C-alpha cells in the first residue's frame, strides 16, 4: 500500500497549496491599529499548515470547467478560512480542549481564549465576504450561490450541527448510523461543498454539479474514517496532532464500532465509489480519482 | 426630556419588531435530530429580546425605496442574528464574562459554553446564508453586496476588530480618540451597515447610499454614548443588563473621559448631525429622524 500521493497528484497538491497560501496571505493583510493582534491570530490559524484538501478540491473541481485559477484560489482560500475557524473553536477548552494543532500550539494557547474566539469569528466573516466580492466571479449569481451553499454546509444543519452532536455524544455510545450522520455533518458537508464549489464557479449544469457533490460526499466519508484510523493507530509525530483522542474521550468512531480492518475496507469502498461519480468527466478528473485513493492510504 | 419614543415611532418600532420576530422564527426552524439543542440555543439568543434597533434601521431604510417588507425583514433578521451572535460570544467567560443579557441568563448560562460558542457560530453562518438566498432580493448583485458589506462591517476590520481592541484595553486607559475609534468599530459599523442595507436593497444611487451610511454612522456613535450613560447611571432593572460594568472593569468610555454632561451634549450633537444627512429624503424619513432623537433620550 502506497503512503505518498502519486507524483502527479503530489505536484498538484503542492501547487494548489502554494496558490492558496499566497491568496490567503493577500486576503488577510495586517492593519496598523491594535486590532493587528486579531489579524495576527487569524493568520496564525490559517497560514502555513494543513494539507489544503478542501482548497485543493475547489481548485481541481474548478479546473474541470476552465475556471481561472485566480478565482478558484479565492474560493479555496475562503473554504480554508472557514475550516480554520472551525478548528480554532473546536480546540477551545470549552469544546475539545486541544493544545496541539498541525504540530504547533493551538490558537488559544499561542494567544489567549478571547483572541481565539474572535479570530475564529472574524475568519468566518472574511470567508463569506471574499466569496461575495466581485473578484471571485464576474457573475453575482455564482457568488450568491457560493455564499448560500457555504452557509448551509457550515451552519446548524451542517458543520456546526455536527460539532453539537459530537459534544452531546461525549459520555454515551453512538451506533454506526449515528456516527455516520455526525461525521457527514461535522466534516462531510464542508468537503462536499468544496467539491461542489468548482461546479458553481464553472456554472455547470445540475447533473455535473450533483456528480461532484456526490464525489465530495463519499470522499469526505472515506477521509473521516481514514482520520479515525490515524487517530487510533498513528503517532502525534506522524500526524502533527495528539492521537488516541477518540479512545481517551470515549468517543465512538467507525473504527471503534467496526474494528480497524472493517473500517479500512469501508473507507476503501467509499473511495472507489467516490471515483465512480467522476466517470462523465473523463481523464481530466484523474487527479480527483488519485485523491480518492490517497485520502484513505495517507499516513498523516 | 421625553423618555419614550414619539407615538408614531413607537408604533413603527413595535411593528418592525413583530415582523422581524416572525421572520426569525421562520428562518430558524427546529430540526428533528440531536442538533435541535443548537437551534434551541440560537433561538434563545435571538428571539424575543432587544429593541431591534438594527433591524428597524434596515426596514425603515428599505421603505424609503419602496422595497417589499418581506425582503427587508429577511435582511433585518440577518442583521439581528449577526448582532445576537456577537452578544453571545461577548458574554462568554473568556470575553466579558456576563451572566445577564436582556434581563435573562446569557446563552452560556442557560445552556453551556460549548453550546453558546456553536450557537454564535451558527447564527453568523445563517445570517450570511439568508442574505444570499434568492428570497432576499431578485437581483443577485444586491444579495452579493449585502453579504460583502456585512462581512466587512462585522469582521476583523469592523465589529470583531473593535471587540479585540476592547479586550486589549482592559487595564490601560484609552483617550477619547481611541475610545471613539473602538466604538465605531465595535458597534458603529454594524449600525451603519443596517442603515446602508436599505439603500442596497433599494438599488439606490451612491449619493443616497452614502447619506444613509453617514446617518447610520452618526446614529451609532450617539447610540453608544447613550449606552455608556445608561451603564453609568441606569439600573439593571431599567436596562435588563448589569450596569456599572465599565467602571468596574476600569474601561474608559466617553462618559468617564468627558463627564456625563459633556458626553450627553456630544450624543445630542451627533443625533442632530445624523438627522441632517436625511435632508434629501424629505418627510418620508421622519421616523428615522425621530429615531435619532429617541436613541439619545431612551432610559433602557
At residue B1, the pLDDT reads: 40
Residue at grid coordinates 457527514: A184
Instruction: Give the integer Cα–Cα distance in Å for B284 and B64.
Output: 7
- Nearest Cβ partner for B89 among A121, A156, A167: A121
Which of A30, A31, A35, A42 should we substitute to test contact with B (largest number of B Cβ atoms within 10 Å)? A35
Q: B204-238 b/e with 16+ CB inside 10 Å = b?
A: beeebbebbbbbbbbbbbbbbbbbbbbbbebeeee
Cα A264–Cα A267–Cα A270 angle in degrees, nearest 5 = 150
- Pairwise CB contact (< 8 Å): A38 & B161: yes
> Residue A179 domain-assigned?
yes
Report A:263-292 residues touching B (Cβ under 8 A): none
- Judged by a CB distance cut-off of 8 A, whether residue B165 touches chain A is yes
Instruction: Give the integer Cα–Cα distance in Å for A234 and A227.
Output: 9
Residues of chain B under the 70 pLDDT cut: 1-3, 235-242
Q: Which of A232, A144, A217 is nearest to B141 (CA)?
A: A144
CB A120 within 8 A of CB A81: no
- Nearest Cβ partner for B147 among A33, A86, A128: A128
Q: What are residue A100's DSSP bridge partners?
A: A105
Alpha-carbon distances of A148 from A129, A153, A161, A298, B260, rounded to whole Å: 12, 9, 17, 32, 45
- Judged by a CB distance cut-off of 8 A, whether residue B120 touches chain A is yes
Residue at grid coordinates 454612522: B217
Biggest CA-to-CA distance, chain B = 54
Which of B36, B87, B147, B165 should we substitute to test contact with A (largest number of A Cβ atoms within 10 Å)? B147
> Residue A149 domain-assigned?
yes
Instruction: Give the integer Cα–Cα distance in Å for B245 and B16.
Output: 30
CB A200 within 8 A of CB A274: no
> Residue B2 domain-assigned?
no
For residue B94, list chain A residues with Cβ-Cβ distance below 8 A: 112-114, 117
Which of A94, A113, A150, A186 should we substitute to test contact with B (largest number of B Cβ atoms within 10 Å)? A94
- Judged by a CB distance cut-off of 8 A, whether residue B47 touches chain A is no
Cell of A42: 487569524
Backbone φ and ψ for B225, nearest 5 degrees, come out as -65, -45
Cell of B62: 428599505
At residue A224, the pLDDT reads: 94
Q: What is the pLDDT of residues A107-150, one digit of tens each?
A: 999 999 999 999 999 999 999 999 999 999 999 999 999 999 99
- Judged by a CB distance cut-off of 8 A, whether residue A152 touches chain B is yes
- Judged by a CB distance cut-off of 8 A, whether residue B33 touches chain A is yes
At residue B239, the pLDDT reads: 66
Alpha-carbon distances of A129 from A81, A132, A238, A291, B128, rounded to whole Å: 11, 5, 35, 29, 9
> Residue A259 domain-assigned?
yes
> Residue A1 domain-assigned?
no
- Nearest Cβ partner for B164 among A95, A115, A126: A115
Provide the terminal-to-terminal Cα distance of chain A, rounded to the nearest Å.
14
- Pairwise CB contact (< 8 Å): B151 & A144: no
**Residue A133 belongs to a domain with what CATH number?**
1.10.600.10
At residue A107, the pLDDT reads: 97
At residue B89, the pLDDT reads: 98
> Residue A2 domain-assigned?
no
- Nearest Cβ partner for A160 among B38, B112, B128: B38
- Pairwise CB contact (< 8 Å): B33 & A161: yes
The DSSP result for B159-170, as a single string, is HHHHHHHHHHHT
CB B119 within 8 A of CB B58: no
CA distance B248 to chain A (A): 19
Q: Residue A18 is part of which domain span?
A: 7-297
At residue A1, the pLDDT reads: 40
At residue A246, the pLDDT reads: 77
The DSSP result for A167-178, as a single string, is HHHTTS---HHH
For residue A124, list chain B residues with Cβ-Cβ distance below 8 A: 121, 124-125
Report A:174-203 residues touching B (Cβ under 8 A): 181, 185
At residue A237, the pLDDT reads: 65
- Judged by a CB distance cut-off of 8 A, whether residue B69 touches chain A is no
Whole-prediction pTM: 0.95
At residue A236, the pLDDT reads: 65
Instruction: Give the integer Cα–Cα distance in Å for B48 and B59.
Output: 18
Residues of chain A under the 70 pLDDT cut: 1-3, 235-242
* Minimum Cα–Cα distance from B127: chain A residue: A151
> Residue B1 domain-assigned?
no
- Pairwise CB contact (< 8 Å): A37 & B164: yes
- Pairwise CB contact (< 8 Å): A33 & B147: no
- Pairwise CB contact (< 8 Å): A35 & B124: no
Alpha-carbon distances of B44 from B25, B40, B106, rounded to whole Å: 11, 6, 9
Quote the number of domains for chain A: 1
> Residue A157 domain-assigned?
yes
Q: Which of A116, A81, A216 is nearest to B94 (CA)?
A: A116
At residue A197, the pLDDT reads: 98
Determine the 3-state secondary structure of B192 from DSSP.
Answer: helix
Amino acid at each position: 500500500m502506497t503512503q505518498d500521493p502519486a507524483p502527479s497528484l503530489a505536484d498538484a497538491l503542492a501547487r494548489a497549496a502554494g496558490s492558496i497560501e499566497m491568496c490567503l496571505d493577500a486576503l488577510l493583510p495586517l492593519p496598523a491599529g491594535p486590532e493587528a493582534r486579531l489579524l495576527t491570530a487569524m493568520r496564525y490559524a490559517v497560514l502555513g499548515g494543513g494539507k489544503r484538501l478542501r482548497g485543493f478540491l475547489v481548485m481541481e473541481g474548478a479546473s474541470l470547467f476552465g475556471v481561472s485559477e485566480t478565482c478558484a484560489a479565492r474560493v479555496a482560500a475562503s473554504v480554508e478560512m472557514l475550516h480554520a475557524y472551525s478548528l480554532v473553536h473546536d480546540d477551545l477548552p470549552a469544546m475539545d480542549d486541544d493544545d496541539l494543532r498541525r504540530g504547533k500550539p493551538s490558537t488559544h494557547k499561542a494567544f489567549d481564549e478571547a483572541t481565539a474566539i474572535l479570530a475564529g469569528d472574524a475568519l468566518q466573516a472574511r470567508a463569506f465576504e471574499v466569496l461575495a466580492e466581485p473578484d471571485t466571479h464576474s457573475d453575482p449569481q455564482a457568488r450568491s450561490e457560493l455564499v448560500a451553499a457555504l452557509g448551509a454546509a457550515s451552519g446548524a444543519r451542517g458543520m456546526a450541527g455536527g460539532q453539537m452532536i459530537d459534544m452531546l455524544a461525549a459520555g454515551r455510545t453512538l451506533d454506526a448510523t449515528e456516527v455516520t450522520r455526525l461525521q457527514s455533518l461535522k466534516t462531510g458537508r464542508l468537503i462536499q461543498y468544496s467539491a461542489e464549489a468548482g461546479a458553481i464557479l464553472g456554472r455547470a449544469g445540475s447533473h455535473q454539479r450533483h456528480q461532484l457533490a456526490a464525489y465530495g460526499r463519499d470522499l469526505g466519508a472515506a477521509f473521516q474514517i481514514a482520520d479515525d484510523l490515524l487517530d487510533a493507530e498513528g503517532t502525534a509525530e506522524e500526524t502533527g496532532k495528539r492521537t488516541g483522542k477518540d479512545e481517551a474521550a470515549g468517543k465512538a468512531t467507525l473504527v471503534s464500532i467496526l474494528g480497524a480492518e472493517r473500517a479500512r475496507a469501508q473507507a476503501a469502498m467509499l473511495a472507489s465509489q467516490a471515483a465512480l461519480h467522476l466517470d462523465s468527466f473523463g481523464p481530466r478528473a484523474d487527479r480527483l480519482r488519485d485523491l480518492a485513493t490517497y485520502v484513505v492510504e495517507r499516513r498523516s
